[in-house]
C-alpha cells in the first residue's frame, strides 16, 4: 500500500493496554506457563480483543461461556468481573479461582452495593449487555431490598422513561461503567438534580479512560484524520471513536489490514492522529503505524 509522502503522523501517549488489561493478560499467560498440565479456563473473553483471545487459545487457555459441571483446574475471572452468584457456581463446580477483575471495575461493584445497602435507588450508567455492567447490576440486586430499585441507563432517554420512579425515591445514587464518556455523566447529573431531594453521584469512570479521551480530543483538534485502533466490541474504543468523530474525520479499525478500506481518506489527510483502546496490544498498534509510514 502506498501513501502520499511527508505525512505528519502523531501517536497518542495514552493508548493501548491500560493497567487492568495488562495485568489480566500478563497474569493469565504466567498462570498457564506455571501450570502447563492444568486446565485453564476463562469464563467469557478475558478482554475484548480477538487477537489476544486467539493468542491465549494457542497457549492452551480456553475461553468458555460455560464451565464443565465437574471440572478441575483453574478458572480465571475476566477483567470485566462477574457476579457473586457466578463466583459461587465456579467454586461449586470444583475449580480454583483466580480473580483478574480490573481494580477499577471492582470499585464500581463495591460502590453500587454500598449505595443499595444504604437505601438508595441505584442508577448504573452504561451498556446493559456489557459484561462489566451485567456484573455490577447483578451484585447490586443481590443486596437491594427491592431489585426494581436498580436500573441501568444506557442513555438519557432510557432514564427519562423512569422519571416518575426517580421522583418517588428520596435518595438516588449513580455509578458509572468505567469506560463511559464524562459528557454522559454530566448530562445525567444535570437532568437528575432538579428531580431529586438527595442525589449521590460517584464518578467511577477510570482515570485511564479520562486521560485517553482527553488526550485524543486534543490530538483530534490538530488532525485531518484520526485513526482509532481496537475491537468493535470494546466499549472504551467505540466511545473513543464516537467522541473523536464529532471533532474530525475518524476511522475505527481493528487491525492494519483494514487500512486498505480507507485508502482515500488516508491519502487526503496530512495530519493524522492515532490512538487505541484499552484492550489493544502494542504489536497491533505498531503494525498500523508502520503501514501508515510506508512511502
The catalytic site residues sit at 132
DSSP code of residue 246: T
* Cα 70 to Cα 237: distance, rounded to the nearest angstrom: 37
Taking the alpha carbons at both ends of the chain, their separation in whole angstroms is 8
Cα 132 to Cα 144: distance, rounded to the nearest angstrom: 18
Which residues are CB-contacts of 87 (< 8 A; sequence separation ≥ 6)?
77, 97, 99
How many other β-carbons are positioned within 10 Å of the β-carbon of residue 183? 12
Residue 219's alpha-carbon distances to 74, 151, 265, in angstroms, are 43, 35, 17
Angle at 221 between CA 218 and CA 227, to 5 degrees: 85
78 closest CA partner among 113, 53, 95, 111:
53
Count the Cβ atoms, other than its own, within 10 Å of residue 88. 10
Nearest to 10 by CA among 292, 236, 295: 292
Backbone angles phi, psi at 266, to 5 degrees: -70, -40
Task: Name the E strands within the chain.
Answer: 8-11, 40-43, 61-64, 74-77, 96-99, 121-125, 150-153, 171-176, 198-201, 225-229, 249-253, 271-276
Amino acid at each position: 500500500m502506498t501513501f502520499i509522502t511527508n505525512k505528519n503522523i502523531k501517536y497518542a501517549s495514552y493508548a493501548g493496554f491500560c493497567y487492568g488489561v495488562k495485568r489480566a493478560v500478563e497474569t493469565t499467560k504466567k498462570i498457564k506457563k506455571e501450570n502447563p498440565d492444568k486446565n485453564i479456563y476463562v469464563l467469557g473473553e478475558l478482554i475484548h480483543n480477538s487477537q489476544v483471545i486467539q493468542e491465549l487459545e494457542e497457549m492452551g487457555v480456553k475461553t468458555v461461556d460455560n464451565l464443565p459441571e465437574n471440572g478441575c483446574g483453574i478458572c480465571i475471572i475476566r477483567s470485566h468481573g462477574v457476579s457473586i452468584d457466578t463466583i459461587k457456581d465456579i467454586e461449586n463446580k470444583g475449580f480454583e479461582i483466580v480473580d483478574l477483575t480490573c481494580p477499577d471495575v471492582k470499585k464500581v461493584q463495591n460502590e453500587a452495593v454500598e449505595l443499595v445497602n444504604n437505601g438508595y435507588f441505584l442508577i448504573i450508567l452504561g451498556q446493559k449487555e456489557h459484561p462489566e455492567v451485567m456484573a455490577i447490576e447483578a451484585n447490586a440486586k443481590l443486596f437491594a431490598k427491592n431489585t426494581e430499585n436498580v436500573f441501568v441507563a444506557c442513555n438519557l432517554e432510557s432514564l427519562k422513561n423512569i422519571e416518575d420512579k426517580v421522583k418517588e425515591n428520596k435518595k438516588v445514587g449513580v455509578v458509572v461503567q468505567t469506560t463511559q464518556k464524562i459528557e454522559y455523566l454530566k448530562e445525567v447529573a444535570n437532568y437528575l438534580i432538579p428531580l431529586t431531594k438527595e442525589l449521590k453521584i460517584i464518578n467511577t469512570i477510570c482515570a485511564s479512560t479520562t486521560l485517553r479521551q482527553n488526550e485524543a480530543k486534543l490530538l483530534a483538534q490538530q488532525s485531518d484524520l484520526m485513526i482509532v485502533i481496537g475491537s468493535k466490541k470494546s466499549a472504551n474504543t467505540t466511545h473513543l471513536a464516537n467522541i473523536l468523530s464529532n471533532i474530525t474525520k475518524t476511522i475505527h479499525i481493528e487491525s492494519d489490514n483494514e487500512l486498505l478500506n480507507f485508502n482515500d481518506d488516508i491519502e487526503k489527510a496530512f495530519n493524522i492522529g492515532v490512538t487505541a483502546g484499552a484492550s489493544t496490544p502494542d504489536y497491533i498498534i505498531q503494525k498500523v503505524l508502520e503501514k501508515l509510514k510506508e512511502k
